[in-house]
Chain A
Amino acid sequence: MIKFENVTKVYARGARPALDSVSLDVERGEFVFLVGASGSGKSTFLRLVLREERASAGKVFVAGKELGSLSSWKVPQLRRQIGAVFQDFRLLPNKTVFENVAFALQVIGKPRHQILSTVPDTLEMVGLAGKEKRRPHELSGGEQQRVAIARAFVNRPQILLCDEPTGNLDPTTSLGIMRLLDRINRTGTTVVMATHDDEIVDQMRKRVVELATGELVRDQSRGVYGSDR
């Protein structure tokens, strides 16, 4: 589903590469933790998958397409197959929960009847039934992240990218979010999650990919957060 072939990303000429010749293969339906210190290249990895950046060298394949040769007008089509969740939720403060989730479908031109039927389903799935009319500031952090996940998942993407989704949440709430991501993964969605949260990684026992200063230093199935444990 996601395949990196010797991918290098250099942001500024002469600077240390953010990713250095990384090769990786993520199968359809996998759950992968992307771990490493700040600045190790996790976010760059996710940005390359979303084609917010292009690789400086090497090839990135997502959903069967090589992104280096993908023309820019086809990028929106690619992004419709990818959901993305961030640490800072990125919700629209002046829209209700329902509107925030519906927004993702409206802007890709989905018909009204489809929005009216899929949005409530998705909100129920993430556990927000009955809170459709609330605005983001009336919700707890965990609930806001659920709205963000609902928005990312409402179009049933093949891939869900999460950039430290539990970074702003307490351990109990984080656990709830992880259960939700696990459920989404079980529907066949490939989930890639960049995180610093060692407890969660150790608990979930999923595949762990570790980056250090842009290099892939560990790829372990059913792994834990720290390699020395």
Chain B
Amino acid sequence: MRLRFILSEIGIGLRRNLSMTISVILVTFVSLTFVGSAALLQLQIDKMKDDWYDKVEVSVFLCPATSPEPTCAGGEVTEEQKQAIRDALDEPEVAPLIVQPVFFETKEEAFASFKKQFGDQSWASVATVEDMNSSFRIKLTDPSQYQVVADVVSGRQGVESVQDQRRLFDRLFLVIDRATLLTGGLAAVMLVAAVLLITTTIRLSALSRRRETGIMRLVGASTMFIQLPFMLEGAIAATVGSLMAVGGLWLGVQYLVTDWLGGTVSWIPYVTTSDVLTVAPLLVAAGILLAAISSLVTLSRYTKV
């Protein structure tokens, strides 16, 4: 009896304020889509870090015949200097950080890969073997230990520069981070709008049923019994909104990321629909929390015993 009665009360309330209910659903939908997008962007960064940091190397470029660097004052790198660098990398405090063996790229090999990459460009035709650097390519067991390795080799005679490829990605990650901040900010604004809208909806619903709640109070219905239909109304609308957000993100990832982006630029590890399902409980929980906060704020004022 109780359950059926409460359910019918909820149905009446939702239908009576249909346009408000729909707006609550839409606002929760939009705000939680932003929240979900922010979460997915962060997941995207994690994925790229996992995938790329394993592949990146520290390149130690050695002096070519002519170079403005003071460490290259002695002209092209000599065999002794190379050996000194190898020895330095074999020191016990550095060696464990490095995946052995260290790969050495000669000028000729560098020129070959340069030709392969840019050979069809007109500006590249003036380059010669002598313009290339020979280099050590060092793979790190832990990419974050870059600085330790760099300190050992940089500044040595015969080393022109040390470059960490991670630096190249960091700029991309910064862009994605900023995008996350932006979506997060928009999400926060929309969440405030959602709370206010749910609050207003519950208030309207409570006011339009003042007669009923008045009689309920009079005949001794418990506070819980009086307030539950209103709370559930908000919760149902918010849950529907959050499920729509999950659905929207799922479609977005499937068609925009997996099918479209994945088809065009395939070398990036993208977020997948299973990542959407990972964030889904978070979104639904956020939706319900939203409704709960709004209910608590409103009902204590509009349906007191």
Contact residues of A with B, CB < 8 Å?
50, 72-73, 75-84, 90, 92, 103-104, 106-112, 115, 151-152, 155
Contact = CB atoms under 8 A, between A and B. Distances in A.
Nearest to B211: A92
B35 to A, nearest CB: 36
A72 B212 contact: no
Contacts of A108: 219-222, 225
16 contacts: A72-B305, A76-B220, A78-B220, A79-B219, A80-B219, A81-B220, A83-B219, A92-B212, A106-B5, A107-B216, A107-B226, A108-B225, A109-B2, A111-B1, A152-B219, A155-B219
Given A108-B221, A111-B1, A75 B215 contact: no
A107 to B, nearest CB: 4
Best-surrounded residue of B5, B219, B305 (most CB of chain A within 10 A): B219
A60 to B, nearest CB: 17
Interface of B is mostly: helix
Nearest to B12: A94
A103 B217 contact: no
B214 interface: yes
Contact of B221 (A73, A107, A152): A107
Best-surrounded residue of A50, A80, A107, A115 (most CB of chain B within 10 A): A107
Interface in B183-224: 211-212, 214-223
Given A106-B1, A108-B219, A151-B219, 19 more contacts: A50-B218, A75-B305, A76-B217, A76-B223, A78-B220, A79-B219, A82-B220, A83-B219, A90-B211, A92-B212, A92-B215, A103-B219, A107-B215, A107-B216, A107-B219, A108-B222, A109-B1, A109-B2, A152-B219
B225 A90 contact: no
A73 B216 CA distance: 14
Nearest to A148: B215
A115 B5 CA distance: 13
Contacts of A112: 1
A110 B221 contact: no
Interface string B293-305: 0000000000001
B223 A107 contact: no
B1 A103 contact: no
